[in-house]
Amino acid sequence: MSASPSLEALKGVGSEVAKKLEAAGIRSAEDLYSYYPRKYDDYSHVVSIAELRPGPVSIKAQIKQAKGRYLRRGLHITEAIASDSSGSVRLIWFNQPYRAAAIKSGADYFISGLFELGKGRLSINNPSMELVSDFPVSTARVVPVYREAKGLKSNQVRRLIRDNLPPADALEETLPKWLVQQEGLMSFGAAVKEMHFPSSADNLEAARRRLGLEEVFALSLASLMNKYAIADDLAIAIPFDEQLAKQFVSSLPFRLTDAQRKVVWQIYKDMANTRPMNRLVEGDVGSGKTVVATMAALMALKQGFQVAFMAPTELLARQHAETVYKMLDSVGYHQRVGLLIGSLSAKQKQDMHARVESGEVGLLIGTHALIEEKVAMQQLGLVIVDEQHRFGVEQRKKLLKKAGHQVHVISMSATPIPRSLALTLYGELDISVIDTKPAGRQSIITKIVAPGARAQLYRQLDTVLEAGRQMFVVTPLIEESVARLGARSATAVHKEMQAVFPKRRVGLLHGRLSGDDKTSIMADFVAKRLDILVSTTVIEVGVDVPNASIMLLEDADRFGLAQIHQLRGRVGRGEHQGHCYLIPSDSGPPPKRLLALESSSDGFALAELDLKLRGPGAIYGHAQHGALDLRVARLDDKQLILSARRAADEFIKKRESLLNYPRLRMKVQALRAVTNLN
């Protein structure tokens, strides 16, 4: 596809259709060919009318009579009788007044649709019809169904692709010949054709594997190229001080888990190298990632280097500062901890800048504003990034200008990511996993509560609140105007909680509040000035409220499994047992993912299940999923991911040049930018 035609050059595309296509993200012929179906309807089995049974059907018949009429309220109905040698059947179309006039008497048609009972009679409702041919598009085959956009229907996309898709051998191969042969892949052109108009279920699966492997191969290649680009830079080695490490560990009021020890040792070995560390530390809620990060920071401080510890919110930055300060107190490094956040006064910021520039502050904790030019950390050796899984090349360039050398980077994530997904999304990172919780850490008791049992639950919860505990109540939506979709909103639930618990102090927190307001409300909850906090998912990341022991999720079936696991991790972080109550939106059987939460507290096992049930968007967010543009690959297909990863390694080892593969090169360049968060 080296010379991909423009939209205007395509058959059936005028200026109006071109606008609709562009609104759907289709800006060229190549985009159109790559607009793969979201699903398929199987109408491939053509039967006689006498053999019809309720459900999706296809017949070959002639139309003997057809007429249309308007009913009350402007509804138009077209009725026709289709006949073959075995019998006749009624066809019905709603609001398609052109149907009757378009039918050719005596011609043979393929007719596909849903054969069902309506008003006491069986009929095929809203069927697709095509004159019999060797290549039907919307009938008598496995029919592709496309994502629809405003003014752009699936059948319109289907016709445009049929009229413009080049022959399979006219589409240039996009992968190295050795890879196609090695993996036994279908050619690119054949795969594109089979994706749009599959000739069989087996060929469709082969096409999916071919194009899915190419997607993951391109992403893996982009990640590996980023990894090697970083590795070419030089960082300053930070040697390991065994005595200091032992002193710190012995001063802790708890014992490190074996998993924590293993991860700390991986980090220490990385830091002692001149190759810049680029490590992602994954750990379930409450697994003890902060102490691991503190041990890394301590080693840098000991060797005279400064550390930037970045958190996604000011509240979490404050929390980290308090925790790290206490842990470093026992080894005498607590005075070198500083906090720099937007809510400080101008004088406080000025003083902190001066302390950082002089080197008095060695461990500076704050938000991502820490990498701004005015923060002068000349001795910067280590960056710790919480809840941003990747610290990209552009951010590294800023730090390189500051420090004059490359820095070591630790990224931390409390969202367990299935290994197959991590290999694909974060291939440029070395990954460490803290897969055990500290001794004595209690699992959250999770229960599904039917909507009709609210009153009884509220009485039970009020007893816990009376004992001095606190409660989060989380909803999926903010306001009533949106809640008409059937979900309970935060504003409505806030009013309800005030009525149900009149003696309790009830707060409301959501994403539309200003940063200062959110910080103030959360601070009130942490300080026990609120008993109940009604919130959207803005409380999901990292907030530590030791006295909060209850998490109540409204419309729990509207949340992802991994998301609920993160939310329930906000409670039970102190001495009191945590409880999570899941109230579904209706009284029907609970979804499988909610039942899984009742029986499992293993975040990694739940993440694997979430990936299988809901897809990768549930794990790492729909925005990035869209940017990565994985249209075909199924990221629960571990074998495909491993094959693509091995192929990317081999491509680099063979010293292949992307200049020989123009389409692949464009894709990899785009993905390198996305995976670096440029």
- Judged on CB neighbours under 10 Å (0-12, 13-18, 19+), 300 is buried
Residue 187 domain flag: no
- CA 89, CA 82: separation in Å to the nearest integer? 5
Judge if 18 and 105 occupy the same domain: no
The pair phi, psi for residue 70, each rounded to 5°, is -95, 140
Question: In percent, how much of the chain has pLDDT > 70?
Answer: 91
What mean pLDDT comes out for the span 64-75?
85
pLDDT at residue 505, as a whole number = 96
Residue 494 domain flag: yes
pLDDT at residue 205, as a whole number = 95
Judged against a pLDDT cut of 80, whether residue 674 lies above it is answered with no
Structure tokens at 423: 């290999």
Q: Return the CATH number at 596.
A: 3.40.50.300
Which range of 203-217, 396-410, 438-452, 475-489 scores highest in mean pLDDT? It is 203-217
Judge if 8 and 132 occupy the same domain: no
Lowest-confidence segment of 87-91, 213-217, 449-453, 635-639 by average pLDDT:
635-639
Entry field: residues in the chain: 678
pTM more than 0.85:
no
Judge if 59 and 26 occupy the same domain: no
Binning pLDDT at 50, 70 and 90, where does residue 65 land? confident
Angle between helix 201-231 and 662-675 (nearest 10): 60
Lowest-confidence segment of 127-136, 157-166, 174-183, 413-422 by average pLDDT:
413-422
Residue 665 domain flag: no
Binning pLDDT at 50, 70 and 90, where does residue 483 land? very low
pLDDT at residue 621, as a whole number = 46
Q: Return the CATH number at 83.
A: 2.40.50.140
pLDDT at residue 393, as a whole number = 56
Residue 468 domain flag: yes
SS3 380: strand
Per the structure, the complete domain to which residue 473 belongs is given by 445-600
Domain finish residue from 533, 567, 600: 600
pLDDT at residue 624, as a whole number = 46
Judge if 559 and 452 occupy the same domain: yes
For the stretch 327-378, pLDDT in tens is 999 899 999 999 998 888 899 999 999 999 999 999 999 987 787 767 888 7
Judge if 472 and 569 occupy the same domain: yes
Judge if 10 and 124 occupy the same domain: no
Judge if 594 and 521 occupy the same domain: yes
Judge if 160 and 54 occupy the same domain: no
Structure tokens at 80: 């026709």
Residue 572 domain flag: yes
Lowest-confidence segment of 15-29, 366-380, 390-404, 600-614 by average pLDDT:
390-404
Residue 551 domain flag: yes
Residue 260 domain flag: no
Question: In percent, how much of the chain has pLDDT > 90?
Answer: 50
Domain finish residue from 570, 600, 630: 600
Judged against a pLDDT cut of 50, whether residue 9 lies above it is answered with yes
Structure tokens at 341: 């956040």
Please give the mean pLDDT across all residues of the chain: 86
pLDDT at residue 375, as a whole number = 81
pLDDT at residue 500, as a whole number = 94
Query: 515 versus 115: which is more confidently predicted?
Result: 115
Judge if 452 and 535 occupy the same domain: yes
Structural contact between residues 315 and 339, judged by C-beta atoms closer than 8 angstroms? no
Judged against a pLDDT cut of 80, whether residue 171 lies above it is answered with yes
Judged against a pLDDT cut of 80, whether residue 586 lies above it is answered with yes
Counted domains in the chain = 3
Q: Determine how many CB atoms are found less than 10 A away from the CB of residue 387.
A: 17
Judged against a pLDDT cut of 70, whether residue 619 lies above it is answered with no
SS3 109: strand
Judge if 34 and 75 occupy the same domain: no
pLDDT at residue 462, as a whole number = 95
Kindly list the distances between the CA atom of residue 456 and the CA atoms of 258, 470, 492, 502, in Å, as whole numbers in the listed order. Answer: 43, 18, 20, 16
Structural contact between residues 43 and 112, judged by C-beta atoms closer than 8 angstroms? yes
Judged against a pLDDT cut of 60, whether residue 627 lies above it is answered with no
Judge if 2 and 114 occupy the same domain: no
Considering only the C-alpha atoms of the chain, give the largest distance between any 2 of them, rounded to a whole number of Å: 95
Domain finish residue from 123, 140, 157: 140
Residue 353 domain flag: no
Judged against a pLDDT cut of 80, whether residue 4 lies above it is answered with no
Judge if 20 and 134 occupy the same domain: no
Binning pLDDT at 50, 70 and 90, where does residue 629 land? low
Judged against a pLDDT cut of 60, whether residue 484 lies above it is answered with no
Cα 8 to its chain centre, rounded Å, is: 35
What mean pLDDT comes out for the span 524-543?
83
